[in-house]
Amino acid sequence: MSHHECSPIRHFKRPEFANTGAHPIGQKVYSARIIALGSLIIKERLGLSDRETLQIQENPYLQFFLGYTTYVDEEPFHHSLLTHFRERLGLEVLAEVNGWIAHAALQAER
């Protein structure tokens, strides 16, 4: 089973975390399902700091995991946004995601 098949990102379709589209002014809108959750998974899986997680910029495999269709040579977001992502998702959602990952791992072992 591939990492993509085990990834909880494909399950993360809650409307409150959907990308609301680009806004003409203000901060860039990030998809919680892809960028936020995927970045946190990469950070924890690879044991990286928030700053080190930005190696996504240099790694086409990590970009593919996040749903990029082509290689992009720019920082996906400022490292401080990972704190915002964690707060936005909350402990309940992160616990649910951990459950999805554990379930997928058990299924892969069978």
Q: In sequence order, what DSSP letters do the residues of 51-110 get, joined into one string?
A: TGGGGGGG-HHHHHHTT-SS---S-SS-TTHHHHHHHHHHHHHHHHHHHHHHHHHHHHH-
The structural domains of the chain, with segments of one domain joined by +, span: 3-109
Q: What is the pLDDT of residue 7?
A: 55
Split at pLDDT 50, 70, 90, the class of 60 is very high
Distance separating alpha carbons of residues 39 and 31, to the nearest angstrom: 11
pTM: 0.62
101 pLDDT higher than 50? yes
